[in-house]
Amino acid sequence: MNKLSVDISEVFVKYRLAREKPKTFQEYFIHRVKGKSIAYEDFWALKGINLQVRKGESVGIIGHNGAGKSTLLKVIAGVMKPTQGNITACGLIAPLIELGAGFDPELTGKENINLNASILGFSRKEIDSKFNAIVEFAELHEFIHCPLKSYSSGMVSRLGFSIATEVNPDILIVDEVLAVGDEMFKRKSKDRILGFKEKGVSILLVSHSMEDVQTLCDNILLLDHGTAKMYGDSETVIDEYLKMNA
């Protein structure tokens, strides 16, 4: 039996939400001067999630907006800490979450490749050796020496995807990035992820496309208001999800 890549045990995530949020800084300041406190309420984004992902396994995570899908990926990636519970991830993680979030709009595409790739742990030599492949895959030859602020959001996401997938991860975390770019780039992105799957990389995928989930994933976790409603093979869980939304 394959070793575990990800082991999630009784994970809870709580957010504190303001019941009545001041609309402006002036309103907030007046509240403070008058000694008025802002009332908060607890929102449990995840409630007791358990999941085990084995080496080479692909797991889809589906559910309605606000079900906790992206929160779960962020916790697995180490971007967030759970309020309660434990997560163990074995190996190098490549998180495809909020692509381009760490970019500097004042720098050129080339400079952002150097910056972002170094954050991911690439050496200068590795960055130089991968540079042409990154630019080629992102289809940004004409714009690579232009500042990122001149890029469209799609161009920024393509660059982020291209950099992040040049690593050789043990675990790939994908959050809705297959919706990036035109149809040709979407196919390229899906093919690259399938390539990781063939190499035995563990994949966790969030997508609203049931076609993508069924193509790329062995099993699926269905989340509903932060709880695990169902876990099983792709066809069975997708059928249940479609019935819920019928």
Give a three-class secondary structure readout of 153-173.
HHHHHHHHHHHHCCCCCCEEE
CATH class name, domain 4-244: alpha beta
The pLDDT assigned to 154 comes to: 85
Give the Cα separation of 43 and 123 in Å (integer). 41
In the predicted model, what is the mean pLDDT of residues 210-235?
94
Tell whether the model's pLDDT for residue 92 goes beyond 70. Answer: yes
The pLDDT assigned to 168 comes to: 83
The pLDDT assigned to 96 comes to: 84
The pLDDT assigned to 110 comes to: 95
Indicate the average pLDDT of the chain.
Answer: 88
In the predicted model, what is the mean pLDDT of residues 175-196?
83
Domain boundaries, the chain: 4-244
CA dihedral over 106, 127, 95, 152, signed as positive or negative: positive
The pLDDT assigned to 11 comes to: 97
The pLDDT assigned to 244 comes to: 86
> What single letter denotes the amino acid at residue 65?
N
pLDDT bucket at 122, cuts 50 / 70 / 90: confident
In the predicted model, what is the mean pLDDT of residues 140-167?
91
The pLDDT assigned to 23 comes to: 59
In the predicted model, what is the mean pLDDT of residues 201-216?
91
The pLDDT assigned to 167 comes to: 82
Tell whether the model's pLDDT for residue 189 goes beyond 80. Answer: yes
The pLDDT assigned to 125 comes to: 92
The end-to-end CA distance of the chain, in Å, is 38
Q: Which of 72-89 are b and which e, b meaning 16 or more Cβ less than 10 Å from the residue's Cβ?
A: bbbbbbeebebeebebeb
Tell whether the model's pLDDT for residue 1 goes beyond 60. Answer: no
Looking from the CA of 14 toward its CB, the CA atoms found within 13 Å total 7
